[in-house]
Each structure stands twice: as C-alpha cells, then as structure tokens.
Chains A and B, each alone.
Chain A
Amino acid sequence: MATDQMVASVRPEPVISLRDLRVSYGDREILHGISFDVVQGETLVILGGSGSGKSTLLRTLVGLEKPSAGQICIKGRDLAKTSAAEMDEIRRKIGMSFQGGALFGSMTVGENVALPLREHTRLEDSTIEIILRLKLQQVGLEGFEYYAPSQLSGGMKKRAAVARALAMDPEILFFDEPSAGLDPIIAAGIDQLILELKRAFRMTIVVVTHELASAFLIADRMLLIDKGNIVAMGTTEEMRSSTQPRVRQFLDRVPEPEISAEMDYLQMLTAERPRPRSTLGKRG
C-alpha cells in the first residue's frame, strides 16, 4: 500500500508512542505493558474482545485514566510530565468520538459542535456559525444544528459527535467503538466517514472496535489486544495471514470454551489469578 511505502521511506517521528504502559484499577492490573507507535496519517485499529482492556487503553491515551507505569508520548510530549495547562494544549489537538456519542443533552446539535470553539477561541459568532455549518456538512448532517441530540438516530448522534470532535481541527482522532449499536448500513456509513477524513486531511486516527469487517476496511495497521497484552500487531494483510492461535480464534470467530468457575472468569479478565474475594471486595 502507498501509505506503507511512505512510512518505510520517511520514518517520521511517531505522533503517539507508548512504552511499557501499565494501567491498574485498585490492585487489579488491566494493561500489562503495552508498547506501540502510531505515525502521522496512519489509521490504527485496536481490536479486542469484551474485557480485553482495549477501552481502558483508549481512555488512557486521551488522558482519562492515569497509567500506573510506563510512558505515553503524544506529539513528542510525555503525558506524565505535562502540567494541566500543557495537557489542555495537547487535548486541543485531539478529538475523541465516544461510544454513545456523549452529546450534551441540554444543548442543540449546533451548540454541541460549537462548544469547543466557544470555549477555546475568541472567534466571532458569525465565524463559529460558518465553521459549524462546515463541520456538520463534513459528517453529512447539514441542517440539523437546531435539533436536540435526543431527536437524532443512533448513527446521526455518532456523526454529530464526530463533527464535535472535528471542531477544533484536531491532528489526531480517537474513536471508541464507532459502529457499536448501529445497523450494518449505518455502520458502513460511519466507516466511509472515517475513510474520507483520512483521505481528505491525512489525519492520524486510532479506532477501538471489535467489528472485524469495519476494522479491515479502515485500518492501515491493526493491533489485537487480549487480557491486557498485545497479542499481535501488523498490517491488515499480516493479520489476515497470521497463524497465531489467538488471532485465528478472533478472526475466525471461534467461541471460547465454556467458563466453569468464577475464578476462571476473573482470571480470563485479568490474566492473573485474583486473590480471594474477601480482599478483592473491600473497596466496594
């Protein structure tokens, strides 16, 4: 692919770089040392089953969770060493589309999309209006600025959320389960939108999903995460032809053998033998 050649010939500095990232909730470690790079203009798809830690990984990348160890660099800045003001600076360069859209119910679609502009810029209302129209047009929602989020369908909510994520012209876009809860046609539309964004703006995009069809369509590179570890990483072709059992199981949709005991289930989630219940449940 053209993108691969470009990456190989230039080798630019990675936009996102993770080194041995570990995240824990209480004394349960969710991610056990994740390392990878994402380069400019690349679309990385993070695949994984439920409870694999992929959503935690995404939340940590945008600074919503604190890593217990390891390093995250976004555009060369170490997140752990940034002040609150610097973190805000980084956050203005990233856009995030949440699973359910996370639009503010008390505002119209237009107000939602315009919110980052009103909060972070001193643009005139008329200018904001123009940007707003442009962003809504980009996601195919022109004319919907006066609708309340509750009046939109699931797919439209996601599009509106993407428009809001695009409002500040971010350099990196994060998607959490872009096609979750959508019918195949609407989901295909969202995939198309991601492809367009990538083509038109050469945006760096990180997508977390478990939808295989959509993943293979949009990804330059893929990463399979399981029980908090990276199982495999590579281009779509490499993944498709992988012989690694866990990758095959995921791609060929082979069901897990029946889970018999609570301990096994917890072990599957955490990849560690948990301590007995009495110490685990203390915080509740």
Chain B
Amino acid sequence: MEIVSEIGESTLNGLSYIGSLASLGARAAYYTLVTPFQGKPLRLQRAISQAMDTGVSALPILSLITFFIGLILALQAAYELRRFGAISAVATAVAVSMSRELGPLITAIVVIGRSGSAFAAEIGTMKVSEEIDALETMAISPIRFLVAPKFLAMMVMLPCLTIWANVMGILGGSLFGVAEADFTFMRYIRASVDSLFLRDITTGLVKSVMFGITITAVGCLEGLRTSGGAEQVGRSTTRAVVMSIFLVVVVDLLFTALFFFAGDR
C-alpha cells in the first residue's frame, strides 16, 4: 500500500508542477499580450537584450554542434543506404531528420544549457538576495518585470535558431555528400531543398516555439522557487536543466504524435 500512495503522491506532485508552469506561462502571456494595451508598456528593451543573449550569442556554438550533427546523420544514414545502393538518398535523410526533429531538439538543448540555466540562476540569486521581494513591495510584478521579457525573447529566438540549425545541419551533411557520395555542392543543396515539404519545416518550428515556452517556464519557475542561500541557487539551476530536458522531450513526443495522427503522414 505504501508504494501505491507514493506513486499517487509523486503523480500529484508532477501534475501540480505542470500546473505551476502553466500558470506562470499564462501570467507571462497576460503581461506580454494584454497589459501593454492597458498602458503598462512591455520592457521591450529588456526583451531585445535578452534575445541577444539567448539568440545571437548562441550562434557560434549552435552552428558548430548542428554542423557536426548533420555530418553524423549523413554518415549514419549512408551506412544503411549504401547496402541498397541508395547513397544519393543521404541528402533527403539529413534534410528531413534535421528539420523535423534534430534541428529543434538540438537547438533546445543548447538553449537549455546556455539560457534556461541562466534564467534559474539569475532569478534564484535575486530571490535569495530579496530583490524579488523588493519588486513586490514596490508594486512591480516580478512576472511582468523579469519573466515576460524572457518569454518574448525565447519565443522569437528559438524558431530563428532552429532555422539556422537546420541550415547548418544540411551544410554538415553536404560535406559527406560531396566527399563520398558523388554530389556536387549545388546538387546536394538542390536535393535537400527538393526533399523538404513546407510542413516538415513548420512542424519543426511549431515544436521549437513550444520548447521555448517550456524552457523559459521551467527556468523561471525554478528560479522563483529558490529559497535559502547561494547553495540553493546552484540546486535550482541543476533542477532547471534536468527538468527542461525532460519536459522538452515530453513536449516533443506529444507534438510529434499530434502531427502524426492529425494527418501529417
């Protein structure tokens, strides 16, 4: 009986965590979409500098990682395709798997490491040094002031980064294509573009927006839940990263299943 009650308890905890994330997201959306029209301007300046941090500064490392991932995909696909004499299908395999799955996912994981953890650390530090309390006593909502600009920045930047990741992945694949599969560079790119349907790209982008929401919500929630001292900030940061990766994969599964059963075959 002990086990049953523990399963029940952790299920409830999980559900209440999802509930907290949803409520944080909803409040951030309210301050992003509703209150600016009631005379409470959004901190656009802050959102832009946040977008620089999470987006533009992530480009070098993201480019390198996704280039390699593209190359790895090409090698792995070629291993199997060669047996059927279909090595020219490498371009298709890389393009489709990058834009449908790995582009958004790898981008999300890089962003979790760079920004999700930073959100938790930043807000957690502010929490333990009473800065969040100070905001509240000044009648400034921490959600509007701190969380909403992060949501906005992430929801814009993650799809942008994903598109970039797709391009870099295809470029990585082309290295193999040109070297080993008798493609010219232009022909490889042409083959990649021809193999993609618009929906391959849009489903990836829809997922990446959802990933952005998930990462921001988890990072900010873990930050806001920090209590105690500096040591707790470290713990929140770790939890934010682990939780984000897990939830991003869950969201990925949900949306992939949704697209699959909603006629996208």
Contacts and interface: CB of A to CB of B under 8 A. Distances in A.
Contact of B130 (A87, A99, A168): A99
Interface of A: 59, 62-64, 87-89, 91-92, 94-96, 98-100, 102-105, 115-116, 119-120, 164, 168
Interface string B127-141: 001110110111110
A116 B138 contact: yes
A209 B140 CA distance: 26
B137 A94 contact: yes
B138 A102 contact: no
A102 B130 CA distance: 5
Given A102-B130, A119-B140, A168-B138, 7 more contacts: A104-B126, A104-B131, A105-B129, A115-B138, A115-B140, A116-B138, A119-B139
Contacts of A62: 137
B5 to A, nearest CB: 12
A145 to B, nearest CB: 18
A91 B137 CA distance: 6
A99 to B, nearest CB: 7
A100 B134 CA distance: 11
A172 to B, nearest CB: 11
A92 B133 contact: no
Contacts of B134: 96, 98, 102, 104, 164
A169 B130 CA distance: 22
Contacts of A95: 137
Nearest to A106: B122
Nearest to B49: A106
Contacts of B133: 59, 64, 98, 102
A98 to B, nearest CB: 5
B130 A119 contact: no
Contacts of B139: 87-89, 91-92, 116, 119-120
Contacts of B130: 98-100, 102
A34 B130 CA distance: 24
A64 B134 CA distance: 10
Contacts of A102: 129-131, 133-134
Nearest to A98: B130
A220 B139 CA distance: 29
Contacts of A120: 139
Nearest to A85: B139
Interface in B100-142: 126, 129-131, 133-134, 136-140
Contacts of A94: 137
Most buried by A among B130, B138, B140: B138
Nearest to B133: A64
Nearest to A161: B134
B47 to A, nearest CB: 14
- Of all A-B residue pairs in the complex, the 6 with the closest CB atoms, nearest first, are A91-B139, A102-B134, A88-B139, A102-B130, A96-B137, A98-B130
A164 B138 CA distance: 9
A180 B137 CA distance: 21
Nearest to A176: B130
